[in-house]
Amino acid sequence: MLKADFHSHTNYIQPQETTHSPKQLIDRAAELKFDVLCFSEHYVFTEIADFFPVYKKDPLQSYRDFRVYAASKGILLIPAVEARYKEGEALLINFTGDIRKYPTIESLKNLPESVLVIAPHPFFKRDMCLGKNLEKHINLFDAIEYSHFYLPFLNLNKKAVKLALKRSLPLVGTSDAHHLCQLGHTYTLINAKKDIKSIVKAVRERKVRIVSRRLPYSVFLKLAIIHFARMFSALYIMKIRRKKPNAVK
Ligand SMILES: [Zn+2]
């Protein structure tokens, strides 16, 4: 069984997203004995990118520049993007094309068969989460994410589990690591050979199992504080830049 995490971020392209570099994330993943990892850097098709141009940068650059390093640590790095649409986000796994050719959520139907489309944290209470739009566009998705970010009495994954069962879609466990401490609590075991084709096929065939243990309360609290601080500072920056359009970029 392969130990995999399809959803993580680095500071390589969008430095404000994380504090860790690609090498630091790979090193930590190697320590935790991961076999498969994705840097799913963001690409944004909403107005947010007008205020933060880094979300229009090539999201695959971290994959290209660090796949050899990952391989040297025994990790298969799979190219991926977390694309943000007005309806919500989609994780594109084994995506190697030009993301600008998929500017709407509907355009994902034109993706090659080799790309896995996963709904990340679909029922979390943020505007980038798909929510009801997931069921509306369910035919575009191959799998649904089970996020690491939950507590026993506060688990926003429950609806995702229900929908996955209802639609016979696989669930994959991920860290969405913006911080190293997020890695390794929730991940996916895949019954596949260690090559991308075999992994994509195994996920589609639901040959996957989630391993998940809840975050320590201290880590959950720390992540929640960082998350809200980042969200409010982004809103503040957008408010300032709206007032001074010339200050953008
Ligand atoms: Zn993410």
Cα 7 to middle of ligand 1, angstroms: 6
Cα 87 to middle of ligand 1, angstroms: 15
| Long-range contacts of 70-73, Cβ-Cβ distance < 8 Å, separation of 24 or more | 70/26, 70/37, 73/26, 73/27, 73/29, 73/30
Answer whether residue 52 shows pLDDT above 90: no
Cα 40 to middle of ligand 1, angstroms: 7
List pLDDT tens digits, range 218-247.
888 888 887 777 777 777 666 676 676 555
Cα 9 to middle of ligand 1, angstroms: 7
pLDDT of 246 = 55
How many CB atoms neighbour CB 154 within 10 A? 9
Cα 245 to middle of ligand 1, angstroms: 28
Cα 82 to middle of ligand 1, angstroms: 6
Cα 91 to middle of ligand 1, angstroms: 8
Cα 176 to middle of ligand 1, angstroms: 5
pTM over 0.85: yes
Cα 101 to middle of ligand 1, angstroms: 21
User: Six-digit token pair at 72?
Assistant: 């040297």
Q: Which fold has domain 2-215?
A: TIM Barrel (3.20.20)
- The region, left, alpha or beta by phi > 0 then psi within -120 to 50, assigned to residue 131 is left
Q: For the residues of 29-93, what is the DSSP string, one character each? A: HHHTT-SEEEEEEEEE-STHHHH-GGGGS-TTHHHHHHHHHHHHTT-EEEEEEEEEETTEEEEEE
Averaged pLDDT, 155-160: 93
